[in-house]
Amino acid sequence: MDSRLIELTELGPSLAGVLHREDLPPHVEEALVDIETADLLVAASPVYRASFTGLFKHLFDFVGQYALVGQPVLVAATSGGERHALIIEHQLRPLFGFFQSLTLPLGVYASTTDFDGHRLRDGGSIHQRIDQAVTRGLPLVEQAARQRVSPHVSTW
C-alpha cells in the first residue's frame, strides 16, 4: 500500500496569493491530484481559532468540487485541550460533506495530553481511538473501493 504525507508547511509558501488552480506550481498540482485520487484520505488539521487552519482551507479551495465524491475520508484534529474536540463534527465533516465525500463514522481528536513532545504517548487512549476509527471505517473503505461514482454527478 502506497501512502503520501502532504505537509502544508511545505506547500504553504506556494499557495500564498494564488487564486486559480492553473496558477499553482507543479508540486502543488501534484499534491492536489494525490488528494483527488486517493483511495482513502486522512485529513488532519490543528485547531486554530476554533476551526481548521486557513492554509488547510485554502488548499481544499483548489480541490475539484466533484473530485472527492464517494471518497472515504478519516477526519482528525489536534489542539491544546479538549474544548475543541467538536471541530470534527462542526468543521471537518461539513467541509467534506460539501465535496460529497464519505467521512468515516469516527474521527480522531488528540490534545496535548495525548502527546509527549511531538510524538503520541505510548499506551495512551489515543491509540485505542485510532484503532477504533480504523476498525469501524475499514468496511466502508472496502465498500467504496468497489463502488463507482454515479454518472449523475455533474457540474450542473
Q: What is the DSSP letter of 123?
A: T
| C-beta separation of 92 from 123 below 8 A | no
Q: Considering the entire predicted model, what is its pTM?
A: 0.90
pLDDT (tens digit, 0 to 9) for every residue of the chain, 156 residues total? 689 999 999 999 999 999 999 999 999 999 999 999 999 999 999 999 889 999 999 999 999 999 999 999 999 999 988 889 999 999 999 999 999 999 999 999 999 999 998 899 887 799 999 999 999 999 999 998 888 776 666 655
Burial of residue 103, with CB atoms counted within 10 A of its CB: 0-12 exposed, 13-18 middle, 19 or more buried = buried
8-state DSSP, 67: T
Long-range contacts of range 129-132, CB-CB < 8 Å, 24 or more positions apart?
132/106
Identity at 107, one-letter amino acid code:
G
Determine the Cα angle at 117 with ends 93 and 103, to 5°: 15
Q: Which amino acid is at 25?
A: P
Residues 6+ apart with CB under 8 A from 155: 65, 66
Residue 145 has φ and ψ, to the nearest 5°, of -65, -25
